[in-house]
A = this chain, B = another copy of it.
Amino acid sequence: MQARQVEAPLRKLMGPGPLNIHPRVYQALTSPVIGHLDPAYLKVLDQIGDLLRMVFRTKNRITNAAPGTGTAGMESCVANIIEPGDPVLVCVQGYFGDRIRQMAERQEAKLTVIEGEWGKPVDPETLEKELKKNSYKVIGLVHAETSTGVLQPMAEIAGLAKEHGAMILLDTVTSLGGVDVRIDDWGVDAAYSCSQKCIGCAAGLSPVSFSERAVESVRRRKHPVRSWYLDISLLDKYWGTERVYHHTSSSTLNYGLLEALRLIEEEGLEKRIQRHTLNHKALVAGVEAMGLEMLVSPEFRLPSLNTVKIPAGIDDVKVRSYLLDTYNLEIGGGLGVLKGKVWRVGLMGYSSSAENILFFIAAISQALALQGYKTDVAAGLSAVTKALDK
Protein backbone atom coordinates (compact mmCIF):
# COMPACT_ATOMS: atom_id res chain seq x y z
CA MET A 1 0.00 0.00 0.00
CA GLN A 2 1.19 3.49 -0.78
CA ALA A 3 -0.99 6.15 0.78
CA ARG A 4 -1.87 8.99 -1.53
CA GLN A 5 -0.85 12.52 -0.85
CA VAL A 6 -3.34 14.68 1.02
CA GLU A 7 -6.03 15.69 -1.46
CA ALA A 8 -8.09 18.50 -0.10
CA PRO A 9 -10.74 19.91 -2.43
CA LEU A 10 -11.37 23.62 -1.98
CA ARG A 11 -14.96 23.61 -0.72
CA LYS A 12 -17.26 26.54 -0.09
CA LEU A 13 -18.34 25.54 3.41
CA MET A 14 -21.89 26.68 4.23
CA GLY A 15 -23.06 23.87 6.47
CA PRO A 16 -23.21 23.68 10.27
CA GLY A 17 -19.42 23.89 10.46
CA PRO A 18 -16.53 23.78 9.93
CA LEU A 19 -16.65 26.94 7.85
CA ASN A 20 -13.97 28.45 5.63
CA ILE A 21 -11.36 30.23 7.69
CA HIS A 22 -9.43 33.47 7.18
CA PRO A 23 -6.02 33.25 5.44
CA ARG A 24 -4.41 34.70 8.56
CA VAL A 25 -5.73 31.75 10.56
CA TYR A 26 -4.21 29.31 8.06
CA GLN A 27 -0.94 31.16 8.42
CA ALA A 28 -1.10 30.98 12.21
CA LEU A 29 -1.63 27.20 12.03
CA THR A 30 1.87 26.90 10.56
CA SER A 31 3.55 28.84 13.37
CA PRO A 32 6.44 26.76 14.70
CA VAL A 33 5.31 23.97 17.05
CA ILE A 34 6.32 24.78 20.61
CA GLY A 35 6.32 23.05 24.00
CA HIS A 36 3.17 23.16 26.14
CA LEU A 37 5.11 24.57 29.10
CA ASP A 38 7.28 27.02 27.13
CA PRO A 39 6.94 30.50 28.71
CA ALA A 40 6.24 31.92 25.24
CA TYR A 41 3.39 29.45 24.80
CA LEU A 42 1.86 30.08 28.20
CA LYS A 43 1.48 33.71 27.11
CA VAL A 44 -0.51 32.48 24.11
CA LEU A 45 -2.86 30.56 26.42
CA ASP A 46 -3.26 33.63 28.65
CA GLN A 47 -4.17 35.77 25.65
CA ILE A 48 -6.69 33.17 24.51
CA GLY A 49 -8.24 33.28 27.99
CA ASP A 50 -8.50 37.08 27.88
CA LEU A 51 -10.03 37.16 24.42
CA LEU A 52 -12.48 34.38 25.21
CA ARG A 53 -13.60 36.32 28.28
CA MET A 54 -14.31 39.23 25.93
CA VAL A 55 -16.33 37.04 23.54
CA PHE A 56 -18.21 35.17 26.30
CA ARG A 57 -18.76 38.56 28.06
CA THR A 58 -17.59 37.14 31.35
CA LYS A 59 -15.13 37.75 34.14
CA ASN A 60 -14.90 34.00 34.87
CA ARG A 61 -11.32 33.10 35.74
CA ILE A 62 -11.65 29.59 34.33
CA THR A 63 -12.16 30.49 30.69
CA ASN A 64 -10.02 28.83 28.04
CA ALA A 65 -10.15 26.26 25.24
CA ALA A 66 -10.62 22.64 26.28
CA PRO A 67 -8.51 20.15 24.26
CA GLY A 68 -11.21 18.63 22.05
CA THR A 69 -14.16 19.52 19.84
CA GLY A 70 -17.39 21.15 21.03
CA THR A 71 -18.60 17.76 22.22
CA ALA A 72 -15.59 17.57 24.53
CA GLY A 73 -16.61 20.99 25.85
CA MET A 74 -20.13 19.71 26.44
CA GLU A 75 -18.72 16.71 28.31
CA SER A 76 -16.40 18.90 30.38
CA CYS A 77 -19.39 20.97 31.53
CA VAL A 78 -21.70 18.01 32.16
CA ALA A 79 -19.11 15.74 33.80
CA ASN A 80 -17.78 18.44 36.13
CA ILE A 81 -20.90 20.05 37.55
CA ILE A 82 -23.12 16.95 37.59
CA GLU A 83 -22.51 13.97 39.85
CA PRO A 84 -24.53 10.82 40.49
CA GLY A 85 -27.91 11.55 42.02
CA ASP A 86 -27.88 15.29 41.30
CA PRO A 87 -31.32 16.61 40.33
CA VAL A 88 -30.86 17.92 36.79
CA LEU A 89 -33.35 19.38 34.35
CA VAL A 90 -32.50 19.19 30.66
CA CYS A 91 -34.50 21.02 27.99
CA VAL A 92 -34.51 19.07 24.74
CA GLN A 93 -35.66 21.02 21.68
CA GLY A 94 -33.28 19.41 19.21
CA TYR A 95 -30.37 17.06 18.61
CA PHE A 96 -27.88 18.82 20.86
CA GLY A 97 -30.23 19.24 23.78
CA ASP A 98 -30.69 15.51 23.51
CA ARG A 99 -26.91 15.01 23.55
CA ILE A 100 -26.76 16.94 26.86
CA ARG A 101 -29.47 14.60 28.14
CA GLN A 102 -27.48 11.52 27.10
CA MET A 103 -24.35 12.80 28.80
CA ALA A 104 -26.22 13.69 31.99
CA GLU A 105 -27.64 10.16 32.00
CA ARG A 106 -24.14 8.74 31.78
CA GLN A 107 -23.23 10.80 34.82
CA GLU A 108 -26.22 9.16 36.56
CA ALA A 109 -27.99 12.42 37.28
CA LYS A 110 -31.51 12.27 38.71
CA LEU A 111 -32.77 13.47 35.39
CA THR A 112 -35.93 15.31 34.37
CA VAL A 113 -36.38 16.16 30.71
CA ILE A 114 -38.61 18.83 29.21
CA GLU A 115 -39.16 17.68 25.64
CA GLY A 116 -40.21 20.47 23.30
CA GLU A 117 -40.95 20.69 19.62
CA TRP A 118 -37.89 20.73 17.37
CA GLY A 119 -37.76 24.16 15.73
CA LYS A 120 -39.15 26.01 18.74
CA PRO A 121 -37.36 27.44 21.80
CA VAL A 122 -37.86 26.31 25.39
CA ASP A 123 -41.21 27.54 26.70
CA PRO A 124 -40.53 29.59 29.87
CA GLU A 125 -43.97 28.75 31.32
CA THR A 126 -43.34 25.01 31.13
CA LEU A 127 -39.94 25.55 32.69
CA GLU A 128 -41.37 27.68 35.49
CA LYS A 129 -44.01 25.07 36.29
CA GLU A 130 -41.34 22.41 36.60
CA LEU A 131 -39.08 24.62 38.71
CA LYS A 132 -41.95 25.32 41.11
CA LYS A 133 -42.63 21.61 41.41
CA ASN A 134 -39.09 20.38 41.99
CA SER A 135 -35.74 21.72 43.05
CA TYR A 136 -32.84 21.38 40.61
CA LYS A 137 -29.08 21.76 40.90
CA VAL A 138 -28.58 22.32 37.17
CA ILE A 139 -30.69 23.35 34.19
CA GLY A 140 -29.08 22.25 30.91
CA LEU A 141 -30.12 23.89 27.67
CA VAL A 142 -28.95 25.03 24.26
CA HIS A 143 -28.54 28.69 23.36
CA ALA A 144 -28.17 28.08 19.63
CA GLU A 145 -29.61 24.72 18.57
CA THR A 146 -27.48 23.68 15.58
CA SER A 147 -29.98 21.03 14.53
CA THR A 148 -33.00 23.34 14.25
CA GLY A 149 -31.66 26.85 13.75
CA VAL A 150 -33.40 28.19 16.86
CA LEU A 151 -31.89 30.95 19.00
CA GLN A 152 -33.08 30.58 22.58
CA PRO A 153 -34.13 33.89 24.21
CA MET A 154 -32.25 33.84 27.52
CA ALA A 155 -33.46 36.74 29.71
CA GLU A 156 -36.61 35.09 31.08
CA ILE A 157 -34.97 31.70 31.55
CA ALA A 158 -31.99 33.27 33.29
CA GLY A 159 -34.40 35.01 35.68
CA LEU A 160 -36.20 31.75 36.46
CA ALA A 161 -32.96 29.87 37.12
CA LYS A 162 -31.81 32.64 39.46
CA GLU A 163 -35.12 32.75 41.30
CA HIS A 164 -35.04 28.99 41.87
CA GLY A 165 -31.33 28.77 42.67
CA ALA A 166 -30.40 26.43 39.81
CA MET A 167 -27.13 26.58 37.90
CA ILE A 168 -27.31 27.06 34.11
CA LEU A 169 -25.33 24.83 31.77
CA LEU A 170 -25.42 26.40 28.30
CA ASP A 171 -24.47 25.18 24.81
CA THR A 172 -23.14 28.15 22.83
CA VAL A 173 -21.52 26.06 20.11
CA THR A 174 -23.20 27.87 17.22
CA SER A 175 -23.56 31.31 18.81
CA LEU A 176 -20.25 32.28 20.41
CA GLY A 177 -18.39 34.83 18.30
CA GLY A 178 -21.26 35.66 15.94
CA VAL A 179 -24.35 36.00 18.14
CA ASP A 180 -24.72 37.84 21.44
CA VAL A 181 -23.64 35.60 24.34
CA ARG A 182 -23.78 37.13 27.84
CA ILE A 183 -22.48 34.62 30.36
CA ASP A 184 -22.32 37.02 33.33
CA ASP A 185 -25.56 38.91 32.61
CA TRP A 186 -27.47 35.64 32.31
CA GLY A 187 -25.74 34.05 35.29
CA VAL A 188 -24.56 31.06 33.26
CA ASP A 189 -22.40 28.69 35.32
CA ALA A 190 -20.93 26.38 32.70
CA ALA A 191 -20.78 27.22 29.00
CA TYR A 192 -19.03 25.61 26.07
CA SER A 193 -18.53 26.32 22.41
CA CYS A 194 -16.28 25.20 19.56
CA SER A 195 -13.45 26.69 17.53
CA GLN A 196 -14.75 26.05 14.00
CA LYS A 197 -18.02 27.97 13.81
CA CYS A 198 -18.55 31.71 14.49
CA ILE A 199 -15.11 31.90 16.14
CA GLY A 200 -13.59 31.18 12.74
CA CYS A 201 -10.78 28.72 13.48
CA ALA A 202 -10.20 25.09 12.48
CA ALA A 203 -11.96 22.35 14.46
CA GLY A 204 -10.39 20.68 17.47
CA LEU A 205 -10.79 23.08 20.40
CA SER A 206 -13.69 23.91 22.68
CA PRO A 207 -13.88 27.25 24.49
CA VAL A 208 -15.36 26.76 27.96
CA SER A 209 -16.17 29.06 30.86
CA PHE A 210 -17.03 28.15 34.45
CA SER A 211 -18.46 30.51 37.09
CA GLU A 212 -17.12 30.64 40.64
CA ARG A 213 -20.28 28.87 41.77
CA ALA A 214 -19.60 26.05 39.31
CA VAL A 215 -15.99 25.76 40.50
CA GLU A 216 -17.20 25.68 44.09
CA SER A 217 -19.68 22.92 43.26
CA VAL A 218 -16.87 20.89 41.68
CA ARG A 219 -14.80 21.40 44.84
CA ARG A 220 -17.65 20.07 46.98
CA ARG A 221 -18.20 16.93 44.90
CA LYS A 222 -18.50 13.67 46.81
CA HIS A 223 -17.24 11.62 43.86
CA PRO A 224 -14.24 12.59 41.72
CA VAL A 225 -15.05 13.84 38.22
CA ARG A 226 -15.28 10.72 36.08
CA SER A 227 -13.27 12.22 33.28
CA TRP A 228 -9.62 12.81 34.15
CA TYR A 229 -8.99 14.40 30.75
CA LEU A 230 -11.72 17.01 31.14
CA ASP A 231 -11.53 17.51 34.93
CA ILE A 232 -11.73 21.27 35.26
CA SER A 233 -9.70 21.33 38.50
CA LEU A 234 -6.79 19.70 36.68
CA LEU A 235 -7.21 21.94 33.62
CA ASP A 236 -7.28 24.95 35.94
CA LYS A 237 -3.91 23.97 37.40
CA TYR A 238 -2.47 24.12 33.89
CA TRP A 239 -4.34 27.18 32.58
CA GLY A 240 -3.98 29.04 35.89
CA THR A 241 -0.94 30.24 37.77
CA GLU A 242 0.32 26.83 38.94
CA ARG A 243 1.22 25.68 35.42
CA VAL A 244 1.09 21.99 36.31
CA TYR A 245 1.37 19.69 33.29
CA HIS A 246 -1.94 18.06 32.43
CA HIS A 247 -2.00 17.37 28.68
CA THR A 248 0.13 18.33 25.69
CA SER A 249 -1.79 21.36 24.54
CA SER A 250 -1.81 21.64 20.74
CA SER A 251 0.17 24.78 19.95
CA THR A 252 -0.91 24.43 16.33
CA LEU A 253 -4.63 24.71 17.06
CA ASN A 254 -4.20 27.30 19.78
CA TYR A 255 -2.12 29.54 17.50
CA GLY A 256 -4.99 29.33 15.02
CA LEU A 257 -7.52 30.09 17.73
CA LEU A 258 -5.57 33.11 18.98
CA GLU A 259 -5.42 34.55 15.47
CA ALA A 260 -9.16 33.93 14.96
CA LEU A 261 -9.88 35.72 18.25
CA ARG A 262 -7.63 38.60 17.25
CA LEU A 263 -9.68 38.95 14.06
CA ILE A 264 -12.81 39.20 16.24
CA GLU A 265 -11.17 41.86 18.38
CA GLU A 266 -10.10 43.83 15.32
CA GLU A 267 -13.56 43.70 13.77
CA GLY A 268 -15.18 44.45 17.10
CA LEU A 269 -17.59 41.99 18.69
CA GLU A 270 -20.63 44.28 18.28
CA LYS A 271 -19.92 44.89 14.61
CA ARG A 272 -19.34 41.20 14.05
CA ILE A 273 -22.68 40.33 15.60
CA GLN A 274 -24.34 42.98 13.38
CA ARG A 275 -22.68 41.49 10.32
CA HIS A 276 -23.98 38.03 11.20
CA THR A 277 -27.49 39.46 11.69
CA LEU A 278 -27.47 41.45 8.46
CA ASN A 279 -26.25 38.53 6.38
CA HIS A 280 -28.79 36.24 7.99
CA LYS A 281 -31.60 38.64 7.09
CA ALA A 282 -30.33 38.88 3.51
CA LEU A 283 -30.24 35.09 3.21
CA VAL A 284 -33.78 34.76 4.57
CA ALA A 285 -35.01 37.51 2.22
CA GLY A 286 -33.51 35.63 -0.73
CA VAL A 287 -34.79 32.24 0.35
CA GLU A 288 -38.34 33.50 0.87
CA ALA A 289 -38.40 35.64 -2.28
CA MET A 290 -37.40 32.64 -4.40
CA GLY A 291 -40.34 30.72 -2.95
CA LEU A 292 -38.77 28.56 -0.24
CA GLU A 293 -39.69 28.51 3.44
CA MET A 294 -37.75 28.80 6.65
CA LEU A 295 -38.39 26.25 9.44
CA VAL A 296 -38.21 28.67 12.36
CA SER A 297 -40.54 31.61 12.95
CA PRO A 298 -38.83 35.01 12.59
CA GLU A 299 -38.47 35.91 16.28
CA PHE A 300 -36.50 32.76 17.12
CA ARG A 301 -34.19 32.46 14.11
CA LEU A 302 -30.51 31.82 14.73
CA PRO A 303 -28.48 34.19 12.47
CA SER A 304 -25.53 31.81 12.16
CA LEU A 305 -27.44 28.68 11.12
CA ASN A 306 -30.44 28.87 8.82
CA THR A 307 -32.83 25.96 8.44
CA VAL A 308 -34.58 25.97 5.07
CA LYS A 309 -37.48 23.56 4.53
CA ILE A 310 -36.91 21.04 1.76
CA PRO A 311 -39.86 21.28 -0.66
CA ALA A 312 -42.06 18.18 -0.84
CA GLY A 313 -40.86 15.60 -3.35
CA ILE A 314 -37.27 16.84 -3.47
CA ASP A 315 -34.48 14.30 -2.97
CA ASP A 316 -32.32 15.82 -0.21
CA VAL A 317 -29.21 13.73 -0.74
CA LYS A 318 -29.27 14.28 -4.51
CA VAL A 319 -29.37 18.05 -4.00
CA ARG A 320 -26.49 18.06 -1.56
CA SER A 321 -24.35 15.71 -3.64
CA TYR A 322 -24.97 17.85 -6.71
CA LEU A 323 -23.97 21.03 -4.88
CA LEU A 324 -20.81 19.36 -3.56
CA ASP A 325 -19.78 17.62 -6.76
CA THR A 326 -20.61 20.38 -9.21
CA TYR A 327 -20.06 23.57 -7.22
CA ASN A 328 -17.87 22.44 -4.32
CA LEU A 329 -20.60 23.80 -2.06
CA GLU A 330 -21.31 22.09 1.25
CA ILE A 331 -24.58 22.71 3.06
CA GLY A 332 -25.84 20.60 5.94
CA GLY A 333 -28.63 18.02 5.93
CA GLY A 334 -31.13 17.65 8.74
CA LEU A 335 -30.36 15.77 11.96
CA GLY A 336 -32.68 13.42 13.86
CA VAL A 337 -36.38 14.05 13.19
CA LEU A 338 -35.45 16.81 10.73
CA LYS A 339 -33.45 14.45 8.49
CA GLY A 340 -34.64 14.92 4.92
CA LYS A 341 -36.88 17.79 6.04
CA VAL A 342 -34.47 20.76 6.18
CA TRP A 343 -31.18 22.04 4.89
CA ARG A 344 -28.89 23.76 7.32
CA VAL A 345 -27.15 26.78 5.82
CA GLY A 346 -24.35 28.22 7.93
CA LEU A 347 -23.24 31.85 7.78
CA MET A 348 -20.54 32.06 10.40
CA GLY A 349 -17.29 33.89 10.98
CA TYR A 350 -15.34 34.62 7.82
CA SER A 351 -17.98 32.63 5.88
CA SER A 352 -20.79 35.01 6.82
CA SER A 353 -20.41 37.10 3.66
CA ALA A 354 -22.47 38.71 0.92
CA GLU A 355 -20.84 36.60 -1.79
CA ASN A 356 -21.69 33.35 -0.02
CA ILE A 357 -25.37 34.29 0.25
CA LEU A 358 -25.66 35.18 -3.43
CA PHE A 359 -23.81 32.02 -4.42
CA PHE A 360 -26.04 29.82 -2.28
CA ILE A 361 -29.27 31.26 -3.75
CA ALA A 362 -27.94 30.75 -7.28
CA ALA A 363 -26.69 27.22 -6.62
CA ILE A 364 -29.74 25.91 -4.77
CA SER A 365 -32.01 27.23 -7.53
CA GLN A 366 -30.06 25.13 -10.05
CA ALA A 367 -30.08 22.02 -7.85
CA LEU A 368 -33.86 22.31 -7.45
CA ALA A 369 -34.38 23.00 -11.16
CA LEU A 370 -32.63 19.70 -11.96
CA GLN A 371 -35.38 17.95 -10.02
CA GLY A 372 -38.04 19.90 -11.87
CA TYR A 373 -38.73 22.30 -9.01
CA LYS A 374 -39.00 25.88 -10.22
CA THR A 375 -37.98 28.78 -8.00
CA ASP A 376 -38.04 32.50 -8.70
CA VAL A 377 -34.29 32.85 -8.58
CA ALA A 378 -34.30 36.37 -10.04
CA ALA A 379 -36.50 37.56 -7.20
CA GLY A 380 -34.33 35.71 -4.70
CA LEU A 381 -31.09 37.29 -5.89
CA SER A 382 -32.59 40.72 -6.02
CA ALA A 383 -34.04 40.37 -2.51
CA VAL A 384 -30.56 39.51 -1.22
CA THR A 385 -29.06 42.61 -2.78
CA LYS A 386 -31.85 44.80 -1.44
CA ALA A 387 -31.51 43.38 2.09
CA LEU A 388 -27.75 43.86 2.08
CA ASP A 389 -28.21 47.49 1.06
CA LYS A 390 -29.96 48.32 4.36
Query: Which A residues fall within an 8 A CB radius of B?
Result: 1-11, 13, 15, 17-21, 26-36, 38-40, 43-44, 47, 50-51, 54, 67-72, 74-75, 79, 99, 102-103, 105-107, 194, 196, 202-204, 224-230, 245-253, 255-256, 258-259, 261-262, 265, 324, 330, 335
A107-B226, A203-B251, A262-B3 known; A8+B26 contact, CB < 8 A: no
A83 to chain B, nearest CB (A): 12
Pick from B3, B196, B248, B261: contact of A18, CB under 8 Å:
B248
Q: Which of B4, B50, B69, B246 contacts A1 (CB 8 A)?
A: B50
Q: A6–B28 contact, CB under 8 A?
A: yes
| Contact partners of A34 in chain B: CB under 8 A | 8-9, 11, 13, 18
Contacting A255 at CB < 8 Å: which of B8, B17, B32, B38? B8
CB distance from A43 to the nearest CB of B (A): 8
CA distance A253 to B68 in the complex (A): 12
Oligomeric state, in copies: 2
Question: What would 12 A/B residue contacts be, using CB atoms closer than 8 Å?
Answer: A3-B47, A3-B258, A3-B262, A19-B33, A29-B29, A29-B252, A68-B247, A69-B247, A71-B246, A79-B226, A194-B248, A204-B204
Given contacts A6-B258, A245-B335, 10 further A-B contacts (CB under 8 A): A1-B50, A4-B47, A6-B44, A8-B34, A8-B255, A39-B324, A69-B249, A204-B204, A229-B230, A252-B253
Bound: A5/B43 CA distance, A: 11
CA distance A141 to B35 in the complex (A): 26
By Cβ-Cβ distance, the 3 closest A-B pairs, closest first, are A204-B250, A8-B31, A202-B252
Evaluate contact between B225 and A106: CB separation under 8 angstroms. Answer: yes
CA distance A7 to B34 in the complex (A): 11
B8 near A32 with CB under 8 A, answer yes
Known contacts A33-B18, A38-B330, A229-B72; is A250 also within 8 Å of B3 by CB? no
Name the one of B1, B68, B194 contacting A54, with C-beta atoms under 8 angstroms: B1
Is the Cβ of B18 less than 8 Å from the Cβ of A68?
no
Chain B residues near A33: list those with CB within 8 A: 13, 18-21, 196, 202-203
C-alpha gap A151/B35 in the complex (Å): 23
Contact A8 B251 (CB under 8 A): yes
Report the bound CA distance from A265 to B1 in whole Å: 9
Tell whether, in the assembled complex, residue B106 and residue A227 are in contact, meaning their CB atoms are under 8 Å apart: yes
Question: In the bound complex, how far is the Cα of B2 from the Cα of A54, in angstroms?
Answer: 11
For the complex, what is the distance from the CA of A74 to the CA of B250, rounded to whole Å?
17
